[in-house]
Amino acid sequence: MSDQRIKGNLDGVARSRLDRLSGLLELQMDADLLLDPEVGKELVLFTSLTGREVALFVDRRGRVVDLAVGDAHTVAMSDHDGRRGTQRLAGVRCVHTHPGDSPHLSDVDLSALRQLRLDCMAVIAAAEPHRGSVACLSPGGEVAIEMTGPLKYEKLCAFPWREAVRLYEKSASTVETVVTGAEKERAFLIGLEGNAFDEEPPLEELAQLAETAGAVVVGRMTQRLERPDRSTYLGSGKIRELSLAVQVTRADLLIADEELSPAQQRRLESLTGARVVDRTALILDIFASRARTREGKLQVELAQLQYLLPRLTGQGQALSRLGGGIGTRGPGETKLETDRRHLRRRMTELEGELNHVRHHRERLRHSRQRSDLPLISMVGYTNAGKSTLSSLLVSRLAPLGGPSPGGEDKLFATLDPTTRRIRLPGERDVLISDTVGFIRKLPHSLVRAFRATLEEIVAADLLLHVVDASHPAAVEQLKTVEAVLTEIGAGEKPVLTVLNKIDRVTANDMDGSLLPIGPWVALSAHTGEGVDTLLATIAQMLPSDRVTIDALIPYNQGNQIDSFYRSGVVRQVTYEAEGVRIRADVPKAFARLFRGGNAIKGDNGNGETP
């Protein structure tokens, strides 16, 4: 039947009208014309008689490849997309009608132009004199659109659409990126504009997370809503647009910028046909790929199970969840409850193992406290440059040398924290710890699972809050880290704010609101500029732990002399009849080891003995 080739809502349309409309599918139009005038008359006649829009999709050879009744935005095209890259246009233009006399393209029309990446989108008013408008993507970028109209019917049909296509694709060819590797998933991003950082493009951070996880971002869509839709996260109108965009971009993964409820996730998967993950699952996946130590793997697994447990219910037919009544009782609920018990049992085991880790860390902290070595913890937003700065300090100041932690320009490059001993100018030893980076909307399950790791921050004597001063959302990132510190009980700790990456900005570009109220320094961990100022400021902010002692070491205990050189600064050495007399600046805990033994005289600079 001829009407089977026409898509859309055909209910109630007379067979004779559908047969006449389907005849357009056999036509070959002049390829240089936007629309054959006679074809356009058939379209507006159909709309005038039925009150329904009709959309015609034409390729660059002038062949009609699709015909749809209804909103062009809701109709998926056939698989005739001949693009040679993700930045190219689809090679198809759309001309559709509007009932009444409106010659203007709607927001839905423009959205379809962007999502389908059409050569152009045109509209014809069904009412006389059939004026219309044309829109094309601008060479300035995907979000920019150039519109022409309203135009008279004759000028609309002769619109030079090929020139607009040529200009756009010439511009796109200079920035096109070729995606290689069939193993990468094609991800489409969705989010709410009201919850994104105002200073950076919407979903920019989510795109970085997706790329970090190994996906290729093929499209984005945002909607301005005060709160997510309880059923589908986005509004019903946007869902129809999203379904079409997923088909056009051939996305196999849909990523939401919020934590979705199980119901929202299932509904989105049902409506779009793509697998759906939310921001929390994405971050957990990145953490799982980054964990290297036994502790890190345990913490990530616990967070993943905490996330998965409430999502077991109704996970599809795999769990055979059946209702009550005769003929419906079966193993479904038993299977579901078995899975739940297994998860809870595994979570209990993980929590027990992490408690052992927590006690081990407490013993290490007590050991450090006995040695009176101050602990400095580096905190900050992910990819702010903490690991790069830590690597620089360790390579320059580690008293025993050895490898230093490295830094990479990507999110969550460092997951497992490292603590190293460094020697500040003035021969003072301290411990510096590089911790996991924070992020906006950090999943609470991760905060709970990483409690043992985050306790290192709470126990620190000084926090170095590293901020990427070159980031457009630096102020929001700073506030995000401060909120997380308060949440974990470290909000009252002494903080030195480090404005990193100043080699990427100028003094005029520096946001004045970024400057904190407390002490701060500006530096570049990449070039080393400003590091000396950082070290001097750290030395000023750390509490004094040094005393000057005068110790007499018997000759038969000469092996103790080396400990003075390793733990402090030896000022004077004299040899006497009873032994070796050493005057040195050492930590208070070290000085206490000699109380009651050797002859010691101490002075901490204030005339006090240790």
- The per-residue pLDDT for range 287-340, each reduced to its tens digit, is 888 777 777 788 888 888 888 888 775 444 444 444 444 444 444 455 677 778
The helix/strand/coil state of 35 is coil
How far apart are alpha carbons 21 and 15 in whole angstroms? 10
CATH topology of 186-277 equal to that of 366-541? yes
Return the domain boundaries, the chain.
2-172, 186-277, 366-541, 546-603
CATH 3.30.70 holds for 546-603:
yes
Q: Give the pLDDT confidence of 239-285 residue by residue, as tens digits.
A: 888 887 887 777 889 999 999 988 899 889 888 888 899 998 898 88
* Residue whose pair of structure tokens reads 């733990």 in the numeric block: 567
CATH 3.30.70.100 holds for 186-277:
no
Parts of the chain with a pLDDT under 50? 1-2, 72-80, 82-84, 175-182, 196-197, 314-332, 403-404, 596-610
Peptide bond into 150 cis (omega under 30): yes
The DSSP symbol for 257 reads S
Reported residue count of the chain is 610
Q: Give the pLDDT confidence of 537-580 residue by residue, as tens digits.
A: 998 888 766 778 888 888 888 788 887 877 777 888 999 888 88
Q: What is the predicted pLDDT for the residue at 35?
A: 92
The helix/strand/coil state of 155 is helix
Secondary structure percentages of the chain, helix, strand, coil, to 5 = 40, 20, 40
* Tokens of residue 117, six digits: 């990446």
In sequence order, the β-bridge partners of residue 554 are 579
| DSSP H helices in 309-385 | 332-370
Segment 530-533 long-range contacts (CB within 8 Å, at least 24 positions apart): 530/502, 531/392, 531/393, 531/396
* Tokens of residue 398, six digits: 């580690």
Q: What is the predicted pLDDT for the residue at 71?
A: 52
**Measured at the alpha carbon of residue 8, what is the angle toward residues 250 and 271, in degrees to the nearest 5?**
45
- Fold for 366-541, please state it: Rossmann fold (3.40.50)
Q: For the whole prediction, is pTM greater than 0.75? A: no
Q: What is the predicted pLDDT for the residue at 15?
A: 86
